[in-house]
Amino acid sequence: MIPVQRLPLQPQLADDLARRTEAVRRAGPTTATGRAAWRTAREPKARLRQLLHRMAPGLARCMYCGDNLGTDIDHFEPIARAPLRTFDWHNHLLACAFCNSNRKRDQFPCDPVTGAHLLIDPAREDPADHLQLYLSSGSYQALTPKGRATIEVFALNDRAELVRARRLAFTVIRAMLDEWHTRHTTGDHPGALEIAEALDSLWQADVLRAVLRLTHTPPLARAVLGERAYAAADLLGR
């Protein structure tokens, strides 16, 4: 999981969403009215999905697992809990069908004492404050209760193919950084740009981010990545 930058809504779409929220309020804000209104909102959903695709990591990947194609508009705070947030742009994230329908569903764990929600919202906070990715194993370690709940709800460590994909992505990224370094130092700038663009669009953007963050600790980064990939990561991460 990596942070995503929420894009502003076009005024016309913002007005449309506000009108639809008002209609849910007038109908009596329940799970049923929220869901019914959402089901039939075909046009705004298409436009919201376009915006979310632009915000998403890699090539329109799921904002939670980072692996699958983001197909669904997820309500971060579920409609069942907050029907008046059905059309709230700040409550919309892009998810894959698995994360949305098989894992999260209507779950929204909250701290029993403070009531604060316990899932990471990648559009509002940096997942790295709550999760640490181990590059050698491909698994996440929770740094906070929020990290723990997020790993649990999305099964970030229990989906074997997800963990394996992260581990393999690390091997691929290291090799690409090596290659970028070779092209860069031999003056093949179009070739280096091609690699940099491919890295930017790669699945498992969380692995690339963890690699780039490693350069904050140069001795560790050199040991893990090797000298050339470290130098490349250091230059590309600036």
Residues near Zn ion (CB under 5 A) are 62, 64-65, 68, 96, 99
CB of 162 to Zn ion, least distance (A): 9
What is the closest distance, in whole angstroms, from the C-beta atom of residue 187 to Zn ion in the complex? 40
Say how far apart CA 167 and CA 211 lie, in whole Å: 12
CA distance 112 to 122: 22
The DSSP call for residue 89 is G
C-beta of residue 55 within 8 angstroms of C-beta of residue 4 = yes
Nearest CB to Zn ion, comparing residues 72 and 234: 72
Dihedral sign (CA 26, 32, 35, 41)? negative
Question: In whole angstroms, how close is the CB of 166 to Zn ion at the nearest point?
Answer: 13
What are residue 92's phi and psi, to 5 degrees? -105, 130
Number of helices (H), then strands (E), in the chain = 10, 4
Nearest approach in angstroms of CB 190 to Zn ion is 34
Select 154 or 230, whichever has its Cβ closest to Zn ion: 154
CB-nearer residue toward Zn ion: 60 or 99: 99
CB closer to Zn ion, 37 vs 131: 131
